[in-house]
């Protein structure tokens, strides 16, 4: 075959593209289990840190085995619907939070995951996830609640693409550690979600300080927490 002809060039290019595509497909398939394992480990880490487990002086412990901690401390998981009723046959850990966010927005059927965690002090905490939209992308987190159903033990938040140094600060310990000890009830005993207060929360038992220069992300996170806690409040304090 004439190696200088157009037909040769087309055949050669086609074969090369097919070979490269096949190699990429094989590599992607081979890496999927590892990628899935990394995602699951990150989820376990977030759940544990929201209960203040696996941290030192309010900071994540880089040496902690979060998979082992999760297996040791999570004693029960289940899923509830929008009315607070338990849903059988659904694995809480595998629930896609994004899909539940879409269901909340669109009035669809909900399957909201709940984690019960045995803390080091022997108390059983209820860990509740939340998921919403920030300024540039998704934001999510986990909040652990004491057995009284109203006091927050801890929280952790993260994001897909918020601005570093501004909205991205929701993932920093200085911000989410503010939630420790805050209340999900007001002075009258009625449910009241956490407020992220611009200018400072002061002594507000329901409030934390907003992030300076990140008003939209702060407001979005507040709305996200309130949306999800309005469903979860049905099971708190039972």
* Residue 118 dihedral angles phi and psi, to the nearest 5°: -85, 110
Tens-digit pLDDT profile for residues 91-132: 999 999 999 999 999 989 999 999 999 999 999 999 999 999
* Of 33, 49, 190, the residue nearest 125 (C-alpha): 49
pLDDT recorded at residue 27? 72
Mean of all residue pLDDT scores within the chain? 90
In a domain, 7, yes or no: no
The count of residues in the chain is: 238
> Which residues are 87's β-sheet partners?
79
In a domain, 35, yes or no: no
Total structural domains within the chain: 1
In a domain, 12, yes or no: no
pLDDT recorded at residue 38? 83
CB-facing half-sphere around the CA of 83: CA atoms within 13 A: 2
pLDDT band at residue 2 under the 50/70/90 scheme: low
Tell me the average pLDDT across 173-193. 91
Is the confidence at residue 68, as pLDDT, over 60?
A: yes
In a domain, 80, yes or no: yes
* Of 205, 141, 199, the residue nearest 178 (C-alpha): 205
In a domain, 189, yes or no: yes
In a domain, 117, yes or no: yes
Domain housing 186: 41-232
pLDDT recorded at residue 19? 83
* Of 110, 44, 115, the residue nearest 78 (C-alpha): 115
In a domain, 24, yes or no: no
Measured from the Cβ of residue 207, the count of other Cβ atoms closer than 10 Å reads: 19
In a domain, 29, yes or no: no
Q: How far apart are CA 45 and CA 68, in angstroms?
A: 10
Q: How far apart are CA 130 and CA 177, in angstroms?
A: 17
pLDDT recorded at residue 30? 72
């Amino acid at each position: 075959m004439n190696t200088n002809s157009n037909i040769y060039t087309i055949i050669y290019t086609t074969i090369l593209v097919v070979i490269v595509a096949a190699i990429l497909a094989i590599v992607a398939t081979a890496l999927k289990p590892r990628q899935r394992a990394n995602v699951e480990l990150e989820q376990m880490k977030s759940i544990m840190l929201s209960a203040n487990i696996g941290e030192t002086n309010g900071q994540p412990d880089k040496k902690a085995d979060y998979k082992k901690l999760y297996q040791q401390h999570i004693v029960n998981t289940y899923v509830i619907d929008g009315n607070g009723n338990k849903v059988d046959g659904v694995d809480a850990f595998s629930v896609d939070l994004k899909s539940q966010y879409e269901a909340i927005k669109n009035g669809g059927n909900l399957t909201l995951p709940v984690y019960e965690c045995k803390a080091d002090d022997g108390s059983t905490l209820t860990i509740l996830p939340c998921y919403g939209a920030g300024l540039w992308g998704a934001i999510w987190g986990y909040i652990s609640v004491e057995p009284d159903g109203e006091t927050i033990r801890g929280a952790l938040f993260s994001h897909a693409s918020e601005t570093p140094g501004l909205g991205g600060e929701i993932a920093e310990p200085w911000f989410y550690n503010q939630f420790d000890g805050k209340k999900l009830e007001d002075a009258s005993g009625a449910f009241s979600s956490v407020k992220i207060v611009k200018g400072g929360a002061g002594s507000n038992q329901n409030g934390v300080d907003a992030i300076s220069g990140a008003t939209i992300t702060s407001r979005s996170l507040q709305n996200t927490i309130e949306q999800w806690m309005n469903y979860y409040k049905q099971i708190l304090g039972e």
